[in-house]
Amino acid sequence: MVEPAAHPGASTAKSVDVSVDNLDRERDRLARVEQLARLGELAGGLAHELKNPLSTIKLNLQLLQEDLMQLPGAETSRARASTLRKEVDRLGHTVDDFLRFAGRLELHTKPTQLNDLVRDLIDFFRPQAQAANVRLHTSLCSEEPLCPLDPNLIKQALLNLMLNAVQAMPDGGDLIIRTHVDQNRVYLDVADTGSGVSASAASHIFEAYYTTKKGGTGLGLATTRRIIEEHRGHISFTSEPGKGTNFRLDLPLQ
């Protein structure tokens, strides 16, 4: 089984190290939140400037394609117009993906039962997991922790982790979600029995656009970390290649 990520220990000797670690972690979190807020403002403006001309190009291309349909012997031009349409669509998707990661993020938080949110998500995800031969398990704490969360964003963050877990188990396996409360934080683990993260990939997986998957955008974990850190939370992981990976989130209690 995968080692769970370390969480605040109880011994006095350790607690000095842990609090220094926590300060570093908190400083890093704040730096990223601020950096992404600045990027979000620029990204929003740029995306707006790109999307208007893109939709004009798309509309005109569509009209051009219709004209070319009437024109005998215009097969090559029709093929070129169709390539242009595909590329315009691709550009549109690239802007949308980028905005999902770097756009303005407005949190609509409300007191939320984290375990209930997990239960909802598991129900929603079960058919997809079953189709991929993945067994879902939960081990939810008895406290029913109440947290200030934006439920839609947290679901999106967890879904990214669950999708990654399933994708890391192409031949099926186990996906386990656990919660536990320690002092004023709630910890949530998403563990899989998949391929694991290689040592060379480990320092990059939270970077935007880092992916090892054909067709992946590499924005899933970057977006997840942003969402968690905007909630004053943290995300970390432990992994053993060939055995599995455990992503751990911690979030403040209400």
Interface contacts to ligand ATP, rule CB under 6 A: 160, 164-165, 168, 192, 194-197, 201, 205, 210-213, 216-222, 245
Which regions of the chain does DSSP assign to beta strands (E)? 110-113, 134-139, 146-149, 173-182, 185-192, 234-240, 244-252
Q: Which is nearer to ligand ATP, 219 or 228 (CB)?
A: 219
The distance of closest approach from Cβ of residue 214 to ligand ATP in the complex, given in angstroms and rounded to an integer, is 9
Binding partner at 229 among ligand ATP, Mg ion, none, C-beta below 5 to 8 Å by kind: none
> Site for Mg ion (CB under 5 A): which residue of 220, 235, 239, 250?
220
Q: Which is nearer to ligand ATP, 2 or 147 (CB)?
A: 2
Binding partner at 232 among ligand ATP, Mg ion, none, C-beta below 5 to 8 Å by kind: none
Q: Is 237 exposed, middle or buried (0-12, 13-18, 19+ CB in 10 A)?
A: buried
d(CA 12, CA 27): 23
The distance of closest approach from Cβ of residue 127 to Mg ion in the complex, given in angstroms and rounded to an integer, is 19
d(CA 138, CA 153): 21
Q: Which is nearer to ligand ATP, 40 or 218 (CB)?
A: 218
Reference 96, options 126, 124, 54, 138; nearest CA is 54
DSSP state of 152: H
d(CA 133, CA 127): 10
Binding-residue pattern over the window 174 to 213 for Mg ion, x denoting contact by CB under 5 A: ----------------------------------------
Q: How many CB atoms lie within 10 A of CB 252?
A: 13
User: Can residue 173 be called a binding residue for Mg ion (CB under 5 A)?
Assistant: no
d(CA 174, CA 50): 42
Looking only at the bridges linking them, the beta strands covering 173-182 and 244-252 are unpaired
Binding partner at 213 among ligand ATP, Mg ion, none, C-beta below 5 to 8 Å by kind: ligand ATP
Q: Within 129-168, which residues bind Mg ion (CB under 5 A)? A: 164
The distance of closest approach from Cβ of residue 163 to Mg ion in the complex, given in angstroms and rounded to an integer, is 6
Instruction: Report the run of H or E that residue 140 belongs to, with start and end.
Output: none
The distance of closest approach from Cβ of residue 234 to ligand ATP in the complex, given in angstroms and rounded to an integer, is 17
Roughly how many angstroms between the first and final C-alpha of the chain, as a whole number? 32
Binding partner at 217 among ligand ATP, Mg ion, none, C-beta below 5 to 8 Å by kind: ligand ATP
Query: What is the gyration radius of the CA atoms in the chain, in angstroms?
Result: 22
Q: Which is nearer to Mg ion, 151 or 220 (CB)?
A: 220
Binding partner at 170 among Mg ion, ligand ATP, none, C-beta below 5 to 8 Å by kind: none
SS3 171: coil
User: Can residue 223 be called a binding residue for Mg ion (CB under 5 A)?
Assistant: no
The distance of closest approach from Cβ of residue 56 to ligand ATP in the complex, given in angstroms and rounded to an integer, is 28
- Which residues bind to Mg ion, rule: CB under 5 A? 164, 220
